[in-house]
Amino acid sequence: MANPVTVEVTRGARVESRHRGAVIAVDGDGKVVFSLGDVEAATFPRSACKAMQALPLVESGAADAYGFGDRELALACSSHNGEDEHVAVAASMLARAGRDVEALECGGHWSSSQKVLIHQARTMESPTALHNNCSGKHSGFVCTCVHQGVDPKGYIGYDHPLQREIRATMESLTGAVLGHDNCGTDGCSIPTYAVPLRGLAHGFARMATGNGLEPLRAKASRRLFDACMAEPFYVAGTGRFCTKLMQLAPGRIFAKTGAEGVFCAAIPDQGISIAVKCDDGHARAAESMVAAALARFFDKDSAIGAGLADLATSSMHNWNGIHVGDIRAAAVLSD
C-alpha cells in the first residue's frame, strides 16, 4: 500500500506536486507516540545518522585528547555547506591529530549552496576533500583512528576497524542487524545500512534520553547533541534547514538531514525523537515533514510552535519575486 501524501506543492489555487512518505515519533523506550505510513520499511539513514557515527570519536577519548569543543563535535556530525569556516575547522581537526587533507578519503565536490558555490568558483580552482559536505565526519574518523593507534588508511572500508566499531554502535542503538545484506555505499564512500525507520528513530531517542545506554555512551550522546544545538551553523550552514531548526529552539531541538529525503530530529527535554523518509527522496518534502512533526510537540501559540509551523510551509517565489505557490505539510501530518 502506498504511503500517505505528506507534503503538497501548490501553484496558484492548485496542488501541482505531491510527496508521500513515512513519519514516526518515539520515546526513549521506543514507544510509538505518532506514526504515519510504513515505518518498518528499511531506510538508508544516509547522513542523518552522523551523530551516531561520531560516537566513537567521543567514546574513544579522541575528542578530549585533541581538545575538541562544540564546533569540532558539531562539524563531526555535519553535512556542511563547505563555507570557509567549515573548511577551517575540518583542517584544524586533522592538524591536531598530525594529519591533513591527504588523509581524507571522501572525495571533493563543489558546495550544494549556490551562494557558497559562487564564492568558491571565484576564489579557488577546484574543491578539495575539505570542501566535501562530509569532511567534518571524515576528519573525526581520522582522529578516532589516530588516537586509537589504528592506521586510518582505508577507514571508509566495510572491514576497517573503524567501520566495524560504527556498525556495532549503530546496531546497539537502532536494534537492527547491519551487514552486507542491507549495506549500500554512501556519497562519501563509507557503508550505509538500511534499517527500519522505527529503529532509526528509537536510536536517536536512546541518544536523547540515555535510556538503556551505558553511562559512557549516554554521556557521549548528550555531548554530541549539545554540541550540535550549541553550534548549529557547523552542522549545516547559512540558509540550511538543520541550522534553522536548531536556531529556532536553542538547546531544545536537535536535527539532522540525510540524502534521499531522510530527516531525524530529537527533543531531548521531552525525551522524543522523530524520523521521516520522503518516498521519492526530495529534501523539500523531508524538511516540511520534520518541521510539521516537531510542531506536534510544541504549543501552537509558543514561539517555537509558531516557528515550526512556519518552517513546515515554504513560500515559493519566482525570478521576479512573485509568490507562485507553497510547499506545505498535508493535513494528515499538520493537524
| Under rule CB under 8 A, residue 20 binds a second copy | yes
| Under rule CB under 8 A, residue 105 binds a second copy | yes
In contact, 238 and 116? CB cutoff 8 Å? yes
| Under rule CB under 8 A, residue 199 binds a second copy | no
**In 3-state terms, what secondary structure has residue 148?**
helix
Of 85-93, 142-150, 183-191, 215-223: span binding a second copy (CB under 8 A): 183-191
Least Å distance, CB 173 to a second copy, is: 21
| Under rule CB under 8 A, residue 192 binds a second copy | yes
| Under rule CB under 8 A, residue 12 binds a second copy | yes
* Residue 148: other Cβ atoms inside 10 A: 15
| Under rule CB under 8 A, residue 157 binds a second copy | no
In contact, 263 and 255? CB cutoff 8 Å? yes
Least Å distance, CB 138 to a second copy, is: 11
Q: Which of 65, 216, 324, 332 binds a second copy (CB under 8 A)?
A: 324
DSSP 8-state class, residue 129: G
- Residues 214-253 binding a second copy (CB under 8 A) are none
Amino acid at 144: T
Least Å distance, CB 18 to a second copy, is: 5
Q: Which of 11, 31, 164, 300 binds a second copy (CB under 8 A)?
A: 11
Q: How far is residue 291's CA from residue 98's CA, in Å, rounded to a whole number?
A: 40
Query: What would the DSSP string read from start to end of 176-216?
Result: ---SGGGEEE-TTSSEEE-EEHHHHHHHHHHHHH-TT--HH
For 157, counting Cβ atoms within 10 Å of its Cβ (0-12 exposed, 13-18 middle, 19+ buried), the class is middle
Contacts to a second copy by CB under 8 A: 2, 9, 11-14, 16-20, 42, 44, 105-110, 114, 117-118, 121-122, 132, 181-189, 192, 194, 260-261, 278-282, 285, 318-322, 324-325
